[in-house]
Amino acid sequence: MYAFVSGPLALIAFIVFVLGLGIQVFRFFGMTREKEPLNISFPKPRQKDVDALRPPEGVSKKVRLKGTVLGMEPFLAIVTTLFHLLLILTPILLLAHNLMIERAWGISPPSLTEGVTDVLTVAVMGFCLFFFLRRIVSARVRALSTAYDFLLLLLVFLPFLTGFIAYHQLFAYKTVILAHVLAGELMLICIPFTKLVHMIFFFLYRFLLPGEYSFASGSRVWR
């Protein structure tokens, strides 16, 4: 059973994950088109007019930060950034995962020590708990939350929980490790087809946003 789950099923999960994301990228570019350039020529503004509009030094940066998510809600911005970074980096830099890759393909990707990844795993679980509580406590988030949102949070939480239990061998190891692999594969398969697809759309949407954190100058528009 374990051989099947960690062998062919893992391969299927990775193929579905990569192909699914590929299809979503393809769909995105199908749904959007290149914007026509505006054929309007504006006179070049005079330098002194440009200077007059510029806020004084120092104030500019402060004002700019105030208008961002980081400026408005620094705690949330830091927590969500850390959560997303660790969510991706922890499994990639985990020694046990990389040893399996080395055994299978003979390449050894860089790994962190087991102690460090253990702490990072606990951090990810802590962040999941934070987002869970936020969905219940904050009126703002509660107004938007559905059962589906909680389910997706659980989907992300489970591989880390089972991984943590398996590493510390708290329960029947064989059962837990099987559950861990299955939970990980389920999450991978779900990413392209659920709200977790924001993993890729976060970047794809940058083609639609002119001016702000955009790719290709946000030169695409909806078809």
Partner 1 sequence: MAIAQARNVDPALIQRTLAQHKPQIRFTLAVCAHCSMCAHSCFLYESRREPKYMPSHKMIHSIGYLFRKKGNVGLQELHSIGNIVWNRCVLCMRCYCPLGVDIPYMIGLARRICREQGVYRLYDEG
Q: Where does this chain bind partner 1 (CB under 8 A)? A: 27-28, 30-31, 69, 72-73, 76, 80, 138-146, 149, 194-195, 197-198, 201-202, 204-206, 208-209, 212, 222-223
In the bound state with partner 1, the residue whose beta carbon lies nearer, of 67 and 115, is 67
* Shortest Å distance, C-beta 149 to partner 1: 5
Copy the structure tokens of residue 28.
């995105």
Distance CA 40, CA 100 (A): 59
In the bound state with partner 1, the residue whose beta carbon lies nearer, of 47 and 146, is 146
In the bound state with partner 1, the residue whose beta carbon lies nearer, of 166 and 208, is 208
Buried b / exposed e over 198-218, threshold 16 CB at 10 Å, is: ebbeeebbebbeeeeeeeeeb
| Residue-wise DSSP of 8-55 | HHHHHHHHHHHHHHHHHHHHHHHHEEEPPPP---PPPPPHHHHHHHSP
| Residue-wise DSSP of 125-178 | HHHHHHHHHHHHH-HHHHTT--HHHHHHHHHHHHHHHHHHHHHHT-S-HHHHHH
In the bound state with partner 1, the residue whose beta carbon lies nearer, of 103 and 223, is 223
Distance CA 27, CA 29 (A): 6
* Shortest Å distance, C-beta 52 to partner 1: 24
In the bound state with partner 1, the residue whose beta carbon lies nearer, of 27 and 174, is 27
* Shortest Å distance, C-beta 134 to partner 1: 9
* Shortest Å distance, C-beta 43 to partner 1: 25
* Shortest Å distance, C-beta 117 to partner 1: 26
